[in-house]
Amino acid sequence: MSNSPNHGWFDAVADAYRNCRPHYPEGLFDWLADQAPGHQCCWDVACGSGQASVGLAAAFDRVEASDLSPAQIASAPAHPRIHYRVAPAEASGLESSSMDAVVVAAAIHWLDVPRFNQEVQRVLKPGGLLAWLGYDPLQGAPEPLQQWLDALYHERLQGLWPPERAHVDQRYADLPFPGTSRPVPADLSIAVDWNAAELLGFISTWSALRRSGDQTLMTQLEQELKPLWPRHQERLPLHFPLMGRWGLLP
């Protein structure tokens, strides 16, 4: 999921991304397939360790999955319909007019968007699908835990998030889309069923935590979480509302 100057950071967290980041639901890929004018080939941009690549491979005959981070690509699962490549999003090396769809999952905020848009217009077939996908902060926890999660994301770590994070909070509405766009359907979400360790693992992948440089912070958060976790309930059903923008380019 990296094409920014911070791509070395993504190398360092490749295994954590593969193990701790949520996976997109099958319904999202069904919806993407319904929007795409063809299903021969899709480009999964800044694919990270393949969180979206495998799902796209169920909807398209071939998936070209690229990322600037060699470690992220090395962590991605092998699949007969996926071709992984180390390449910047702004200069993919893909053939012109070769893609039915271009999908950017939780990564458009890291890219040089004007340059990337030019590359999309080069590689996408006329009338092809462009989708920028992301997800809102985690929801569905019992109230005391939800308040702790909200405060951690919005207040306590506020000064530590990279500046690109502001685009996520704006649901990418502040970025230039190369054509008419519509929002991703509001009924799409990522459902997870996590225990406390899995929740902490996900939090540990946050760029704000990595930028803090405070090695004791995760230990502190673990101690804070213990009394907030519901007694006699090992796992909690939680969800990430999906968001983003999509359109068919001329």
24-63 tens-digit pLDDT: 999 999 999 999 999 999 999 999 989 899 999 999 999 9
* Residue 107 backbone phi and psi in degrees, to 5: -150, -10
Tokens read off for 48: 């990270």
Residue 215's Cβ-count burial label (10 Å; 0-12, 13-18, 19+) is: exposed
**Beta-strand runs (E) in the chain:** 41-45, 62-67, 82-86, 99-105, 124-135, 182-183, 189-194, 236-248
pTM listed for this prediction: 0.90
pLDDT, position 210: 80
User: What's the length of the chain?
Assistant: 250
* Residue 58 backbone phi and psi in degrees, to 5: -80, -20
- Are 229 and 196 in contact by the 8 Å Cβ rule? The answer is yes
pLDDT, position 4: 45
Which structural domains are found in the chain, ordered by start?
Answer: 7-248 (3.40.50.150)
| Distance of alpha carbon 46 from alpha carbon 133, whole angstroms | 12
pLDDT, position 11: 47
* Residue 202 backbone phi and psi in degrees, to 5: -65, -45
- Are 172 and 134 in contact by the 8 Å Cβ rule? The answer is yes
* Rg of the chain over all Cα atoms, to the nearest angstrom: 18
The secondary element (H helix, E strand) that includes residue 168 is: helix 165-169
Residue type, 39: H
Q: From first to last of its 250 residues, what are the pLDDT tens digits of the chain?
A: 444 444 454 544 545 556 677 889 999 999 999 999 999 999 999 999 898 999 999 999 999 999 999 988 998 999 999 999 999 999 999 999 999 999 999 999 999 999 999 999 999 999 999 999 999 999 999 999 999 999 999 999 998 999 999 999 999 999 999 999 999 999 999 999 999 999 999 999 898 888 877 779 999 999 999 999 999 899 999 999 999 999 999 8
| Distance of alpha carbon 175 from alpha carbon 245, whole angstroms | 10
